[in-house]
Amino acid sequence: MRRILDRALNLAAGLLLLALALLAAYAMGAALDGAAADAGRTATVAPHGDDNGDGRIDEDESGWDCATMGNRQCGPAPAPVSADCTGPGPCTAEGLPAECRNARAATVLCVTVASRPGGPTLLRALPHRPGTPEYAAALRVLAADTRPRY
């Protein structure tokens, strides 16, 4: 008799636990349904500096930082070098940065690098002599590198 009573109590306890688990699952499902219903009513917030509210900061908006975003060109693009700087001796074209006077065939690349923030400092730090193929190769790398430098 005691054995039957133990089995009955175990069965009742199991059924009670099952009922509690089902009730908890139902309550959790109802809470998730409510959260899903609230998800449709969320508001989108434009980032600070996004003047037109399209979700991204474009050039000429108040959040645009020309020194770290885009092509890192602040202001108008530098004027192209119109002088022939491929001959021997220093090039003396008007407006040519001092670091580019001996660049010869790589003058346009040199001007591109020199016009970027920190560009003249990078040019002065190059270990190669201006006018050499190594210098031109280093300028190609620097001209292609658009990562911001701090």
Whether residue 52 sits in one domain with residue 8? no
What are the tens digits of pLDDT across the range 107-147?
Answer: 888 888 888 888 888 888 999 888 889 998 998 888 887 65
Of the candidates 66, 79, 49, the one whose C-alpha atom is nearest the C-alpha of residue 146 is 66
Provide CB contacts within 8 A for 103, sequence distance 6+: 85, 91, 109, 110, 130, 131, 135, 136, 139
Whether residue 125 sits in one domain with residue 110? yes
Contact 149/122 with Cβ under 8 angstroms? yes
Whether residue 26 sits in one domain with residue 85? no
Largest CA distance in the chain: 115
Domain hosting residue 47, numbered range? 43-67
pLDDT at position 82 is 56
pLDDT at 79 over 60: no
What are the two backbone dihedrals, phi and then psi, of residue 146, each rounded to the nearest 5 degrees? -105, 10
pLDDT at 14 over 80: yes
Whether residue 19 sits in one domain with residue 80? no
Whether residue 97 sits in one domain with residue 107? yes
Count of domains observed in the chain:
3
Query: Per-residue pLDDT averaged across 13-17, rounded?
Result: 85
- pLDDT > 70: what percent of the chain? 71
Whether residue 61 sits in one domain with residue 6? no
Whether residue 85 sits in one domain with residue 147? yes
